Chains A and B, each alone.
Chain A
Amino acid sequence: MSAAPALEGRYRRLLRMYPAAHRRQHQDEMLGVLMTGARAGQHRPGLADTANLTWGALLIRLRPARPGTAWPLWRDALAVVSVLLPLMVLAYSGLLGVATLATLRVGSPIFNAFGGYEAKLLGGWAIVAVLALLRLRRTAALAAAALLIWLAYSFADAPNWSYISAPSMLGLSVAGLETAALLASRGPRRAMPIINWRHYALALAVPLGVASVSNWVWLADPVVSNSIVTTACVVTLAGMTLASPLARRVAACLAIPAYYLVATLLVPPSLIGGPYEVTSGWEGPLRVTVTCAPFAVLLGVAFVVALRTVRHAPAGSREA
């Protein structure tokens, strides 16, 4: 095989990273540009060209197909999340909390401590849920922010930064997501016309099912229960990504708490450490990596989006 066809084939493979619509329109001319720029006898795309094409494909894929179509869809997804998330939390934490309390002796110190904490947590989420259902977006956002601050505060006294762990991040990420969803979208007013009874049923049934499995099956066999919960999370989110572009974005938002839920179950507590567990040695780095991975992903996405937004801004507004 001579150099040119081999090189062209390799460029073609690289161009598969671009969206199909873009490829249909530009693949031939891009190949022309790339082949014209190639050195004589060049067999493979250079590292710089490969990186540049990857970056270009990423930019084009992350950009809304038409200006103003994708962002409103994200806002709608956040609006849906703002209404459904408090219900999901109430279903999950409510069932787990009540089931745990049922195993403790009423009035014992541990019952009082756990019961008090659960009552505050569930009370806080109930307030957020009711305010959201009453379509009081700003008040609900304030309540969710207060909940986030209270959670952060209650974790902050844990020693050795051990609150940087999946279990505490599960609580924080849910409260943070709810606050962000209420602030960044038109909230319940926008969501109510979109959500039907099936969505409400699903938002209650999946957390209730997951909580039931992790409470009762776990006692018999933790491996089975963890596998069921992980599969349920993955299948539900995957199903949503297939359902519609809006459901796909809702799934992307819910993937953050789902990640922490699964991480809490799958990484043994001895490795990640609970919120109040003092850890040392290599457990710390693993725990921090597991905890911070979503942040790294989010930061990367935010960076690309910010870059695009700056580049998209008209010359005048960029100076402002």
Chain B
Amino acid sequence: MTDVASISGGRVKLRAGTLYAALDRLADEKLIEVDREEVVDARLRRYYRLTPPGAQRLAAEVERIRAHSAVAAQRLDLLGGLT
């Protein structure tokens, strides 16, 4: 959750309810799986990793966003917004 905050420059605050709703859905769609568990300060900590279909889906999503931002940058360039 701190990672999300730092990646987004503090604009996105991921909370536990949202996180676990997403994890539940991703696990159900077999896009993620449990990687390992450990106990830190007497608390269970569970690590998840992307499954191969999950990595594929993420790559496709990244590609989609990249294409969108490329078009946006191109349009901005046409307007003379980018120097």
> Which of these binds chain B: A60-68, A178-186, A217-225?
A60-68
For the A-B complex, the count of residue pairs with Cβ-Cβ distances under 8 Å equals: 68
> Measured between alpha carbons, how far is A112 from B16 in the docked complex, in Å?
65
Any A CB within 8 A of the CB of B17: yes
With A54-B17, A56-B17, A59-B21 in contact, do A29 and B44 touch (Cβ < 8 Å)?
A: yes
Question: How many chain-A residues does the 8 Å CB contact rule pick out?
Answer: 31
Q: Is A67 a contact partner of B17 (Cβ separation < 8 A)? A: no
Count chain B residues whose beta carbon lies closer than 8 angstroms to a beta carbon of A.
Answer: 22
Of A142-150, A207-215, A262-270, A307-315, the stretch lying at the interface with chain B is: A307-315
Known: A60-B24, A315-B57. A34 touches B16 (CB 8 A): yes
The CA-CA distance from A312 to B28 in the complex, in Å, is 11
A49, B19: Cα distance in complex, Å: 12
Q: Is the interface of B mostly helix, strand, loop or mixed?
A: helix
CB distance from B82 to the nearest CB of A (A): 25
8 A Cβ contacts from A192-230 to B? none
Minimum distance in angstroms from B50 CB to a CB of chain A? 15
Query: What is the minimal beta-carbon distance from A32 to any residue of chain B, in angstroms?
Result: 4
Contact with B along A295-311 (1 / 0, CB 8 A): 00000000000000001
Q: In whole angstroms, what is the CA distance A73 to B61 when docked?
A: 32
B16 pairs with A53, CB closer than 8 A: yes
The residue that A52 contacts in the complex, of B15, B23, B24, B57, with Cβ under 8 A, is B15
Cross-interface CB contact of A67 among B29, B57, B60, cutoff 8 Å: B29
Please, which residues of chain B bring their CB within 8 A of the CB of A31?
Answer: 43
- Chain A residues near B72 (CB-CB < 8 A): none
Question: Is A48 in the interface zone, CB < 8 Å from B?
Answer: yes
For B29, the chain A residues whose CB sits under 8 A away are 67, 312
A315 touches B64 (CB 8 A): yes
Known contacts A26-B24, A36-B43, then 16 further A-B pairs from the complex at CB < 8 Å, ordered by chain A residue: A22-B24, A28-B43, A29-B46, A30-B16, A37-B1, A37-B16, A48-B15, A49-B15, A52-B18, A53-B16, A63-B24, A66-B28, A67-B28, A314-B57, A315-B60, A319-B64
